[in-house]
Amino acid sequence: MKKKAIVADIERCMACKTCEIMCAVAHSNSKELFSSMLEDQPPEKRISVEKAENFTVPLQCRHCEDAPCVSICPTKAMIKLGPGQAVILEKEKCIGCKMCILVCPFGVIKLDREGKAIIKCDLCIERLKEGKLPACVSSCPTKTLEFKEIEEFTKNVKEKALEKIISAFQDRKKK
């Protein structure tokens, strides 16, 4: 299985926060927008759209290959499903020690509303099993978020970089 990741084209993000809303809905009991707002435990988002200079950036767990949150978890509540796969939380094992929050290099792990356990992106693993995209990706109206194979993503980045280099060289040559 090839490693896939959620990638963001931050130039497209308009900070609508649809990804945040639909992430929360996907993790609700009802899985429906209006019903989820009436649940006893309102659903919580696992992605956040943050402002950074002149951009807005959707941030969520990067599912690191050598995940520090998995290594440090004293109860083994955080587990890596396998190479190139998601890092998930077994919530019933979490004691809320916050060690994973302290070591996360992206600052995307947080405490749940009760402050008793952590909450993080799980790549919408149940949706993936059904052949669906993660909720944040499928709901993004500007296609800022995509769920891509890493090799495909890096190939596209290289092609764009080459286009910029060639364009700059051609502009320089014209002068």
What the block records as the tokens of 173 is 């040559």
| Residue in this structure with the two tokens 């979490």, named with its chain if needed | 94
Same domain, 37 and 85: no
Same domain, 76 and 66: yes
Same domain, 72 and 158: no
**CB of 44 closer than 8 Å to CB of 112:** yes
Q: Whole-model pTM?
A: 0.85
Cα 54 to Cα 108: distance, rounded to the nearest angstrom: 21
Determine, yes or no, domain membership for 113: no
pLDDT-flagged residues of the chain (< 70): 1-2
What the block records as the tokens of 36 is 């989820």
Determine, yes or no, domain membership for 111: no
pLDDT of residue 164: 86
Same domain, 145 and 156: yes
pLDDT of residue 91: 93
pLDDT of residue 158: 85
Residue 136, exposed/middle/buried by CB under 10 A (0-12, 13-18, 19+)?
buried
pLDDT of residue 163: 87
φ, ψ (nearest 5 deg) of residue 127: -65, -40
pLDDT of residue 99: 97
Same domain, 98 and 136: no
CATH of the domain at 54: 3.30.70
Could you list the residue range(s) of the whole structural domain that residue 168 is in? 4-60+121-174
Determine, yes or no, domain membership for 108: no
pLDDT of residue 1: 55
Same domain, 99 and 142: no
What the block records as the tokens of 164 is 């910029």
Same domain, 90 and 165: no
pLDDT of residue 171: 81
Number of separate domains in the chain: 2
Same domain, 51 and 137: yes
Same domain, 36 and 68: no
Same domain, 99 and 128: no
Phi-psi sector, 115: left (phi>0), alpha (psi -120 to 50), beta:
left
Same domain, 15 and 99: no
Cα 92 to Cα 75: distance, rounded to the nearest angstrom: 10
